[in-house]
Structure 1
Amino acid sequence: MAFLTSACSGEPKPSPTAQSAPVKTLVVALVPDEDAATVIQDNQGLKSYLEITLDVPVELVVSTDYSTLIEAATRNKSNLTYFGPLSYVIARSRATFLEPFAVRLKDGASTYKAVLIGNREQGIDSFDAVRGQTVALGDPASTGSRLFPQLRLAEAGLQPNVDYQPVFLGTHDAVAKAVERGTAAAGGLSQVIYEKLVEQGTINPDKLVVLGTSSAIPQYPWTMGSGLNEELRQAIKQSFYNLKDPALLQPLRADGFVPAQDSDYDSIRHAARVLELSLPELVTKS
């Protein structure tokens, strides 16, 4: 898909039902919080399930970074978009037609946390030890590997470019690997992804120290763009809410899906204000 590697032109569509032509292929854009091959593989079961339940071909695409994901959604180049919470808030500030409709449920909760980790060999075993060090983060528009890790560091009295040097590596797994190798003294990423990497043996937890966790974060939202007729919109929602097959849900690290709404992400907006982050600038710098 061309939109994955370059910004798109044109103005956002004004409403979810502005266009209602039949959809020949449902384009599903996925947040690049891990490497693209992993993201695609984890969503193959969901793709097949949607094709069967909706009777429409589904194309999975992974953007090169969060900025191009946001651009694609706000320019209505994707039908469904799986955002991180912060990237959703950025996109929604530019395109109010984006409708969050589902979030994953895990262990009875529709929230997750970020984790701060340090390199054990370098003696990074406390927040105070982070002072003067390099801290690896994911994408500038990432919630779990940028916004909430930096919020937790701020709560510990550490400010970027003053008490530590942030470096953006793009994905959560890249952050974990950098801290494990010692190319970054500390880093922040989603706790769910951290635990997955440990479970898979991708990283060695013996080389790492968990410094702390963030407060609860609202889960990644699934959203719809404009151009889908009401019948298809309702069918998509019900397909997500009715998904109960553990074999399909396990790769998604979910027990099921529940409805979502825009106000669920007001805490993300609040966190961005606390850190004095400009949403437009996050897109520009990502």
Structure 2
Amino acid sequence: MKHQSLLTRVAVLALAATVLNPAFAQGADPARLRVALLPDENAATLIQNAQPLKKYLEATLEKEIELVVTTDYSSMIEAMRFGRIEVAYFGGFSYVLAKSRAPEIEAFAVGVERGTPTYQSILIAHAEGLVKTLADIKGKPFAFGDPASTSSHLVPRAYLLKKAGLTGDIDYRVVHLGTHDAVARAVQAGQVPAGALSKAIYDNLVARKAIDATKLVTLDLSDPIPNYPMTMQGSLAPALKQRIRDAFLKMSDKEVLKAFRVEGFVSTDDRAYDILRDTAKILNIDLAKVK
């Protein structure tokens, strides 16, 4: 698998089938930390918005920081699995997948939005299209983001099954567009009649005027989902792990937090994401076989 590397404003991780990096022996304390951002929007935008984060972490941890955006969720999971990144901001489901393949990684902090460490998926439709209710989705295409996305695939797909009795690729045609913003833009343009993405990202796209909310309607909101976790390699030196943990839990600068679209971070652990493992079971998804 080959990924283009942009050495200036965008750092996209180059991946290859390889053995575990020897730098990840127990107690590792590297001079450079590679911090991966969730690839849920355009990589250049993510890296640009995260420059204050880079400066904050370099000053706080006294380490060189390399910001990384992989081409997709599966690449990010493999990068964490093979020790190509030290710290990563995962979506809920992509974290569950990563944890199933690399049990040594640790979730240590979760983002807080509007005072809560949970968020929702928003199911949207074109304002002038044929989809007015969830039932109208039957027999039509429905847009999701990345197959490993929590709020732009797993949760809304389970929600459609539970709430409307609609099974993907049986009652409607599943269309994967890769990113949340791609879903919103495709529905706005009428390329697909309806789709789902993170409500937080949707609200951000509206606030930035990246999409026109007047051309879209909300069909429904999902049940609360545990927010995205910050994770790190369990093999890092204990003192470094504590410094990384403290750096995120004490993070308060709005410009720094903008990279995560949250108000702050609180402690979390692996058990908080059992609800997503249960959701996978509803959809008969075998985590070991998800690519």
Tell me, in whole angstroms, the C-alpha distance in 2 between the residues paired with 1:247 and 1:42: 8
| Cα separation, partners in 2 of 1:5 and 1:133, compared to 1, 3 Å | farther
**Identical-residue share of aligned pairs (%):** 44
User: Aligned to 2:290, what secondary structure does the other structure show?
Assistant: helix
Question: Does the 8 A contact of 2:29 with 2:240 survive in 1?
Answer: no
Question: Does the 8 A contact of 1:18 with 1:226 survive in 2?
Answer: no
Question: Does the 8 A contact of 2:125 with 2:216 survive in 1?
Answer: yes
Q: TM-score, normalised by structure 1?
A: 0.93
Tell me, in whole angstroms, the C-alpha distance in 1 between the residues paired with 2:251 and 2:20: 34
- What's 1:253 paired with? 261
- What's 1:202 paired with? 210
- What's 2:161 paired with? 154
1:57-96 aligned at under 5 Å gives the runs: 57-96=64-103
> Among 13, 28, 46, which residue is 1:4 paired with?
13
| Cα separation, partners in 2 of 1:57 and 1:108, compared to 1, 3 Å | same
Tell me by how many angstroms 1:280 deviates.
3.1
User: Aligned to 1:4, what secondary structure does the other structure show?
Assistant: coil
Question: Does the 8 A contact of 1:136 with 1:184 survive in 2?
Answer: yes
Tell me by how many angstroms 1:7 deviates.
4.2
Aligned amino acid, residue 4 of structure 1: L
Question: Does the 8 A contact of 1:8 with 1:71 survive in 2?
Answer: no
Matched, 1:19 2:17: no
- What's 1:119 paired with? 126
- What's 2:60 paired with? 53
- What's 2:174 paired with? 166
Question: Does the 8 A contact of 1:100 with 1:223 survive in 2?
Answer: yes
Tell me, in whole angstroms, the C-alpha distance in 2 between the residues paired with 1:57 and 1:6: 21
Tell me by how many angstroms 1:97 deviates.
0.6
User: Aligned to 1:60, what secondary structure does the other structure show?
Assistant: strand
> Among 215, 231, 237, which residue is 2:245 paired with?
237
Tell me, in whole angstroms, the C-alpha distance in 1 between the residues paired with 2:102 and 2:272: 17
Question: Does the 8 A contact of 2:97 with 2:287 survive in 1?
Answer: yes
Aligned amino acid, residue 166 of structure 1: V
- What's 2:37 paired with? 30
Aligned amino acid, residue 214 of structure 1: S
Aligned amino acid, residue 257 of structure 2: L
> Among 121, 137, 149, which residue is 1:142 paired with?
149
Question: Does the 8 A contact of 1:5 with 1:68 survive in 2?
Answer: no
> Among 181, 186, 195, which residue is 1:187 paired with?
195
Question: Does the 8 A contact of 2:53 with 2:259 survive in 1?
Answer: no
Tell me by how many angstroms 1:108 deviates.
1.4
Q: TM-score, normalised by structure 2?
A: 0.91
| Cα separation, partners in 2 of 1:25 and 1:251, compared to 1, 3 Å | closer
Tell me by how many angstroms 1:23 deviates.
0.9
Question: Does the 8 A contact of 2:104 with 2:235 survive in 1?
Answer: no
Structure 2: 5+ residue stretches without partners:
6-11
Tell me by how many angstroms 1:223 deviates.
0.5
Matched, 1:216 2:216: no
Structure 1: 5+ residue stretches without partners:
none
Tell me by how many angstroms 1:249 deviates.
2.2
Tell me, in whole angstroms, the C-alpha distance in 1 between the residues paired with 2:82 and 2:192: 36
Aligned amino acid, residue 230 of structure 2: W
Count residues with an aligned counterpart: 281
- What's 2:273 paired with? 265
Tell me by how many angstroms 1:227 deviates.
4.0
